[in-house]
């Protein structure tokens, strides 16, 4: 069990040994994002731009036109919000192979509070044509996604979490865009999640099982592209659908699943769990997860409650 | 065409090309019923000088890795760039007639995926200098010795991202990067001074600011010229080449007139964009045609 950020820095160092296109463009947060591992190993391909996120994106784009495959390294919130316009025009519209490593994503940011929590990124990035949007479950899937993205000739948004979560996948796991993973079988409820929340949802499913409720857990690591047929098949059956994400309930995984379900004849309702259109606050992780209904116990509680209401 | 070959284009020929470029701007925008006038015209003498006197590029091989790079950061002036690219031989002049029409390679704002000779997409103002800095940094890193040029508008300089790039360019000692600022003193609306007297009377975006001093303080080389004086432009380009190796990026502050070259568009913000009437087209053709006889039909 490792943190995704540790894996990110180390994997880029590994990749850069054999791939001279790998570069890192930093926004003065290398010690937090672990880009410092890369800076030490490959100072020539490490570009410190300072606290200037829009400029970082422009510089990464410029580097990419000369054959580099640069990784932007800073907190996700400063890229998806402050630098959204250059991401849109210079990266997304041109299809430049710039990789957006959104470190410290989601709600859990070491008590930094709402300024640093990125709870809208999936909605924003998912709406951007041509963007691949990945939210890996654990460090193993993060490493696989980084290796895949490094080879991909186009823009990638990679949502990474600061702290370690329990591993879902086994070492050697390979990432394929679009794949949907059924992590656990069950016929009473369908729990769909993405990113590191999937690990907590597995724990929630274990709690529900103790009460005799068997939930199928579906992990969606790639919000775009997504294998719609595979996702629909994972969502089929009589059990009610819950989406659970460390993100606003608007436009992220809940949006994706709702859109898919309403554009087919599946005829099921979707209950979206996540931040209900509200700003959060500074607090320890466990407090925030409980408050916003994302801790294993609170997820299990909401599912139990909803099933009892039916 | 190498740099030394390119510098053979004489002033009279540059004048003729600039007049032709200006005509294509006005005519194309009138036909397409869309596009910008004032900015492309103020930049035309600089664009023509760059493409016919300075840039080491090959229209037959637009993606040549060794080519100099040019980014039109003020992307709304796309039609000015397309006119010059057409004159330089990147695509037929007749193709200008497809500008802004469905299915065209010539989009309303520059699209590097579609138009030969366009090195960077642009349109949202303020981003080009960062892109150019990235290209210049890559060139240094890879040991390639092309030069990167970025043209910006003076209104565009209000964007904060420009100043982020100004800092980075100095920090990375990008003496292979040059910004050309088209200082026409007008933007789209700007700050009106008085309601009834707005011709020649809008306050300059940078009035009260010592732009030369600002760039100097950021550690850049600064060259100030009249952006319609071909000899001054040629000298400035020579000095840019001399500055390579100094570790300093260069900015050319080029004083220009918005809408330059056609009497009814000169010096007014009102022709930032605009569709010429048939009478206005005829009068523009008469004015510009004196310089490049026969072409303004
Ligand atoms: C980020 C952004 N904001 C606003 C615009 C709309 N816009 C297009 S041109 C223009 C004025 C530009 O003025 P300047 O840079 O001085 O250009 P020029 O006078 O040479 O046309 C504006 C506001 C834009 N394209 N991008």
Residues of chain A with Cβ-Cβ distance to B168 below 8 Å are 49-50, 52, 55, 59
Nearest to B72 by CA among B56, B84, B64: B84
Q: Which of A42, A46, A62, A63 to mutate to test the interface with B (most CBs of B within 10 A)?
A: A62
- Domain containing residue A62: CATH number: 3.40.50.970
What pLDDT sits at residue A133?
98
Which residues, including other chains, have CB under 8 Å from residue A196's CB and lie 6 or more apart?
A: A4, A106, A135, A136, A137, A138, A161, A165, A246
Range B202-224 average pLDDT: 93
A52–B167 CB contact, under 8 Å: yes
How far is the centre of ligand 1, averaged over its atoms, from the C-alpha of A91 (Å)? 21
Whether residues A145 and A196 share a domain: the answer is no
Q: How long is chain A?
A: 310
Which pLDDT band, with edges at 50, 70 and 90, does B1 fall under?
A: very low
Kindly tell me if the per-residue pLDDT of B208 is higher than 90. Answer: no
From the list B113, B129, B134, the residue facing A63 with the nearest CB is B134
- If you take atom 16 of ligand 1, which residue's CA is the nearest one? B155
B131–A66 CB contact, under 8 Å: no
Nearest to B69 by CA among B167, B137, B171, B160: B137
HSE-up of B151 (CA within 13 Å, CB side)?
Answer: 33
A73-87, A141-155, A185-199, B1-15, range with the lowest pLDDT: B1-15
A50–B167 CB contact, under 8 Å: yes
Q: How long is chain B?
A: 297
Whether residues A147 and A190 share a domain: the answer is no
Residue that wins the pLDDT comparison between B228 and A309: B228
Kindly tell me if the per-residue pLDDT of B71 is higher than 70. Answer: yes
Kindly tell me if the per-residue pLDDT of B34 is higher than 60. Answer: yes
Kindly tell me if the per-residue pLDDT of A15 is higher than 70. Answer: yes
What pLDDT sits at residue B207?
86
**Does some domain include residue A166?**
no
**Measured between CA atoms, how close is A309 to chain B, in angstroms?**
51
A37-92 per-position pLDDT tens digit = 999 999 999 999 999 999 999 999 999 999 999 999 999 999 999 999 999 999 99
A34-50 per-position pLDDT tens digit = 999 999 999 999 999 99
* Contact status, residue B172 vs residue B243, Cβ threshold 8 Å: no
Which pLDDT band, with edges at 50, 70 and 90, does B294 fall under?
A: low
A254-286 per-position pLDDT tens digit = 999 999 999 888 889 999 999 999 999 999 999
Task: Tell me the pLDDT of chain B averaged across its residues.
Answer: 93
Ligand 1 atom closest to the CA of B42, numbered from 1: 20
What pLDDT sits at residue B194?
64
Q: Rg (Cα) of chain B, in Å, rounded?
A: 18
Number of domains in chain A: 2
A59–B168 CB contact, under 8 Å: yes
Which residues, including other chains, have CB under 8 Å from residue B78's CB and lie 6 or more apart?
A: B35, B36, B40, B72, B106, B107, B108, B109, B110, B123
Kindly tell me if the per-residue pLDDT of B137 is higher than 50. Answer: yes
Which pLDDT band, with edges at 50, 70 and 90, does B202 fall under?
A: confident
SS3 at position A132 = strand
Whether residues A21 and A155 share a domain: the answer is yes
What pLDDT sits at residue A265?
81
A302 touches chain B (CB under 8 A): no
Which pLDDT band, with edges at 50, 70 and 90, does B200 fall under?
A: low
Whether residues A268 and A133 share a domain: the answer is no
From the list A62, A85, A94, the residue facing B133 with the nearest CB is A62
Ligand 1 atom closest to the CA of B123, numbered from 1: 25
B75-116 per-position pLDDT tens digit = 999 999 999 999 999 999 999 999 999 999 999 999 999 999
Q: Element (H or E) spanning B139, and its range? A: helix B128-142
Whether residues A146 and A185 share a domain: the answer is no
**Does some domain include residue A34?**
yes
Tokens read off for A287: 């407090």
Which pLDDT band, with edges at 50, 70 and 90, does B2 fall under?
A: very low
From the list A50, A59, A85, the residue facing B134 with the nearest CB is A59
Range B131-140 average pLDDT: 98
Whether residues A106 and A185 share a domain: the answer is no
Task: Tell me the pLDDT of chain A averaged across its residues.
Answer: 96
| Percent of chain B residues topping a pLDDT of 70 | 93
Range of the domain at A43: 4-159
A175 touches chain B (CB under 8 A): no
Phi, psi of A10 (to 5 degrees): -70, -40
Range B108-134 average pLDDT: 97
- Domain containing residue A196: CATH number: 3.40.50.920
B280 to each of A285, B30, B272, B286, how far by Cα in Å? 68, 10, 16, 10
Kindly tell me if the per-residue pLDDT of A119 is higher than 90. Answer: yes
Residues of chain A with Cβ-Cβ distance to B124 below 8 Å are 85-86, 88-89
3-state secondary structure B47-83: HHHHHHHCCCCCCCCCCCCCCCEEEECCHHHHHHHHH
A92 touches chain B (CB under 8 A): no
What pLDDT sits at residue B133?
98
Which residues, including other chains, have CB under 8 Å from residue A171's CB and lie 6 or more apart?
A: A140
Nearest to B251 by CA among B227, B223, B225, B272: B223
Kindly tell me if the per-residue pLDDT of B3 is higher than 50. Answer: no
- Lining residues, ligand 1, CB within 6 Å: B 38-39, 42, 74, 76, 123-126, 153-156, 182, 184, 186-188, 258, 272
How far is the centre of ligand 1, averaged over its atoms, from the C-alpha of B155 (Å)? 6
Whether residues A144 and A190 share a domain: the answer is no
CATH number, domain B14-288 = 3.40.50.970
Tokens read off for A107: 């709600």
Phi, psi of A193 (to 5 degrees): -145, 170
Whether residues A65 and A130 share a domain: the answer is yes
Kindly tell me if the per-residue pLDDT of B296 is higher than 80. Answer: no
Give the whole-angstrom CA distance, residue A89 versus residue A278.
Answer: 29
- If you take atom 7 of ligand 1, which residue's CA is the nearest one? B188
| Percent of chain B residues topping a pLDDT of 90 | 87
What pLDDT sits at residue B195?
58
Whether residues A284 and A191 share a domain: the answer is yes
Beta-carbon neighbour count of residue A48 at 10 Å? Answer: 18
pTM of the model: 0.94
Whether residues A155 and A193 share a domain: the answer is no
Which pLDDT band, with edges at 50, 70 and 90, does B53 fall under?
A: very high
Kindly tell me if the per-residue pLDDT of B237 is higher than 70. Answer: yes
Write out the E strands in chain B. Answer: 69-72, 148-153, 177-183, 191-192, 202-203, 221-226, 250-255
Which pLDDT band, with edges at 50, 70 and 90, does A125 fall under?
A: very high
Which residues, including other chains, have CB under 8 Å from residue A261's CB and lie 6 or more apart?
A: A235, A241, A268, A270
Q: Is A110 left (phi over 0), alpha (psi -120 to 50) or beta?
A: left
Give the whole-angstrom CA distance, residue B4 versus residue A301.
Answer: 76
**Does some domain include residue A91?**
yes
**Does some domain include residue A294?**
yes
A189-243 per-position pLDDT tens digit = 999 999 999 999 999 999 999 999 999 999 999 999 999 999 999 999 999 999 9
A66-80, A145-159, A207-221, B196-210, range with the lowest pLDDT: B196-210
* Shortest CA distance from A69: residue in chain B: B138
**Does some domain include residue A47?**
yes
What pLDDT sits at residue A99?
98
Burial class (CB in 10 A: 0-12, 13-18, 19+), B94: exposed
How far is the centre of ligand 1, averaged over its atoms, from the C-alpha of A62 (Å)? 22
Kindly tell me if the per-residue pLDDT of B289 is higher than 80. Answer: yes
Q: Which residues of B, range 113-172, sit inside 8 Å of A by Cβ?
A: 113, 119-124, 126-139, 141-142, 144, 160-161, 164-165, 167-168, 171-172
Tokens read off for B146: 């092309």
**Measured between CA atoms, how close is A10 to chain B, in angstroms?**
23
Kindly tell me if the per-residue pLDDT of B192 is higher than 80. Answer: no
ipTM score here? 0.92
* Cα angle A125, A146, A191; round to 5: 60
Whether residues A203 and A264 share a domain: the answer is yes
Write out the E strands in chain A. Answer: 22-26, 46-48, 69-75, 99-103, 132-134, 156-159, 181-184, 189-193, 215-219, 222-224, 241-248, 270-275
What pLDDT sits at residue B141?
97
Burial class (CB in 10 A: 0-12, 13-18, 19+), A55: buried
Burial class (CB in 10 A: 0-12, 13-18, 19+), A62: buried
Kindly tell me if the per-residue pLDDT of B6 is higher than 80. Answer: no
A138 to each of A127, A165, A253, B32, B289, how far by Cα in Å? 24, 6, 17, 53, 68
Residue spans of the domains in chain B: they are: 14-288
Ligand 1 atom closest to the CA of B43, numbered from 1: 20
Beta-carbon neighbour count of residue B66 at 10 Å? Answer: 12
Whether residues A147 and A271 share a domain: the answer is no
């Amino acid at each position: 069990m490792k943190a995704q950020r540790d894996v990110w820095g180390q994997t880029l160092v590994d990749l850069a040994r054999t791939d001279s296109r790998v570069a890192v463009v930093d926004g003065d947060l290398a010690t937090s994002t672990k880009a410092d591992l890369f800076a030490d190993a490959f100072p020539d391909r490490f570009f410190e731009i300072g606290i200037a996120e829009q400029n970082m994106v422009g510089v990464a784009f410029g580097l990419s036109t000369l054959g580099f495959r640069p990784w932007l390294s800073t907190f996700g919130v400063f890229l998806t919000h402050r630098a959204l316009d250059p991401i849109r025009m210079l990266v997304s519209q041109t299809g430049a192979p710039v990789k957006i490593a959104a470190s410290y994503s989601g709600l859990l940011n070491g008590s930094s509070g709402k300024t640093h929590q990125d709870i809208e990124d999936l909605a924003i990035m998912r709406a951007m044509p041509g963007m691949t949007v990945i939210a890996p479950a654990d460090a193993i899937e993060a490493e696989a996604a980084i290796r895949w993205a490094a080879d991909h000739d186009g823009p990638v948004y990679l949502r990474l979490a600061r702290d370690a979560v329990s591993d879902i996948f086994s070492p050697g796991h390979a990432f394929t865009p679009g794949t949907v993973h059924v992590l656990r079988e069950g016929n009473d409820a369908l729990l769909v999640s993405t990113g590191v929340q999937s690990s907590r949802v597995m724990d929630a499913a274990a709690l529900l099982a103790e009460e005799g409720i068997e939930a199928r857990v579906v992990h969606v690591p790639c919000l775009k592209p997504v294998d719609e047929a595979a996702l629909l098949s994972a969502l089929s059956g009589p059990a009610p659908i819950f989406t659970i994400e460390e993100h606003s309930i608007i436009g992220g995984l809940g949006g994706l699943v709702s859109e898919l379900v309403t554009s087919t004849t599946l005829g099921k309702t979707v209950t979206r769990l996540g931040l209900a259109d509200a700003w959060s606050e500074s607090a320890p992780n466990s407090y925030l997860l409980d408050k916003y209904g994302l801790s294993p116990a609170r997820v299990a509680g909401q599912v139990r409650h909803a099933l009892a209401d039916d | 065409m190498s740099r030394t070959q390119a510098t053979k284009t004489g002033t009279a020929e540059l004048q003729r090309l600039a007049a032709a470029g200006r005509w294509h701007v006005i005519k194309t925008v009138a036909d397409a019923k869309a596009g910008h006038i004032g900015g492309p015209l103020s930049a035309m003498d600089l664009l023509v000088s760059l493409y016919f006197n300075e840039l080491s590029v090959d229209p037959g091989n637009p993606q040549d890795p060794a080519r100099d790079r040019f980014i039109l950061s003020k992307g709304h002036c796309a039609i000015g760039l397309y006119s010059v690219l057409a004159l330089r031989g990147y695509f037929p002049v007749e193709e200008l007639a497809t500008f802004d029409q469905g299915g065209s390679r010539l989009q309303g704002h520059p699209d590097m995926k579609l138009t030969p000779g366009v090195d960077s997409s642009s349109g949202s103002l303020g981003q080009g200098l960062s892109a150019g800095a990235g290209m210049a940094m890559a060139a240094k890193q890879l040991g390639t010795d092309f030069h990167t040029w970025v043209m910006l508008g003076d209104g565009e300089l209000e964007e904060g991202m420009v100043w982020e790039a100004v800092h980075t360019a100095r920090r990375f000692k990008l003496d292979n990067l040059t910004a050309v600022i088209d200082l026409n003193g007008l933007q789209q609306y700007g700050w009106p001074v008085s309601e009834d007297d707005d011709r020649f009377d809008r306050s300059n975006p940078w009035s009260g600011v010592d732009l030369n001093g600002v760039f100097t303080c950021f550690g850049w080389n600064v060259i100030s010229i009249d952006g319609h004086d071909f000899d001054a432009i040629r000298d400035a380009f020579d000095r840019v080449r001399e500055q390579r190796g100094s570790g300093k990026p260069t900015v050319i502050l080029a004083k220009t007139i918005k809408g330059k070259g056609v009497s009814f568009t000169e010096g007014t913000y009102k022709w930032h964009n605009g569709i010429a009437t048939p009478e206005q087209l005829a009068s523009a053709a008469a004015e510009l045609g004196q310089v490049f006889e026969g072409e303004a039909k």
